[in-house]
């Protein structure tokens, strides 16, 4: 694919085939993504590639924490404390698209919980990437990290793999660090499901909308 096709075809995939991903392919993806830019070339990314029994035990612990009602302990403020338009409406539309696609009714709280719990299993993808950063780093490194993660997703797309970047996988950082052996000096930024898309899965059949260029761009000359 050319770059424009990669950008427009990438999506957040929420159902995967039970098919292993070659570790060499993952290494090639990360080898390409490592060329992402970062301020003064700090390269703040640290990546844990999790699969197999380790993935199973970790995701079980994360899902249990969620179902037990443990409060999110995410280590930075991802969303605004107070929502306003147009962001509130876009967020609502995003959730409604998924629930309408899956025919999950507003009053069906258990199905809503079960669907949200899938986040903590990485949507059962065969591989989950966890992204860490040294706690000494500041806001600029979060910008750098976004470019790195986008590079990972595009390289994966080019390799025939699907992804879903997930802030939810960073909601219980202590659990993740304990299972993977990272110390308290590491901030857990996010996780990312990685694998082969289940193209027959209903949850993968919809696409979220994007604003037209004219709505967010001003030209000055």
What does the pLDDT profile of the chain (221 residues) look like in tens digits? Answer: 899 999 999 999 999 999 999 999 999 999 999 999 999 999 999 999 999 999 999 999 999 999 999 999 999 999 999 999 999 999 999 999 999 999 999 899 999 999 999 999 999 999 999 999 999 999 999 999 999 999 999 999 999 999 999 999 999 999 999 999 999 999 999 999 999 999 999 999 999 999 999 999 999 99
**Residue 93 belongs to a domain:** no
**Residue 30 belongs to a domain:** yes
**Residue 216 belongs to a domain:** no
Specify the number of domains making up the chain. Answer: 1
Read off the CATH number of the domain in which 198 is found.
Answer: 3.40.109.10
Helices 52-67, 173-180: inter-axial angle, 10-degree rounding: 160
From CA 149, how far away is CA 154, in angstroms rounded?
9
Q: 12 is in which domain, residue-wise?
A: 3-76+121-205
DSSP 160: T
**Residue 109 belongs to a domain:** no
**Residue 220 belongs to a domain:** no
**Residue 92 belongs to a domain:** no
What sign results for the dihedral spanned by CA atoms 36, 39, 43, 45? negative
**Residue 213 belongs to a domain:** no
CA atoms in the 13 A half-sphere facing the CB of 79: 11
Q: Global pTM?
A: 0.96
**Residue 37 belongs to a domain:** yes
């Amino acid at each position: 694919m050319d770059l424009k096709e990669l950008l427009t075809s990438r999506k957040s995939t929420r159902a995967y085939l039970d098919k292993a991903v070659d570790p060499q392919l993952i290494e090639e993806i990360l080898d390409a993504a490592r060329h992402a830019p970062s301020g003064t070339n700090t390269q703040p990314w640290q990546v844990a590639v999790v699969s197999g029994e380790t993935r199973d035990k970790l995701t079980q612990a994360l899902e249990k924490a969620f179902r037990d009602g443990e409060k999110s302990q995410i280590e930075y403020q991802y969303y605004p404390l107070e929502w306003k338009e147009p962001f509130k409406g876009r967020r609502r539309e995003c959730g409604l698209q998924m629930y309408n696609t899956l025919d999950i009714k507003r009053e069906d709280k258990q199905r809503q919980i079960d669907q949200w719990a899938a986040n903590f299993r990485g949507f059962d993808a065969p591989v989950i990437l966890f992204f860490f950063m040294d706690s000494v780093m500041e806001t600029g490194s979060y910008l750098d990290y976004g470019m790195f993660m986008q590079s990972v997703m595009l390289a994966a797309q080019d390799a025939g793999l699907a992804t879903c970047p997930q802030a939810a996988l960073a909601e219980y950082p202590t659990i993740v660090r304990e299972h993977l052996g990272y110390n308290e000096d590491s901030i857990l930024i996010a996780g990312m499901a990685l694998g082969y898309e289940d193209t027959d899965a209903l949850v993968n059949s919809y696409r979220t909308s994007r604003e037209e260029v004219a709505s967010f761009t001003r030209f000055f000359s």
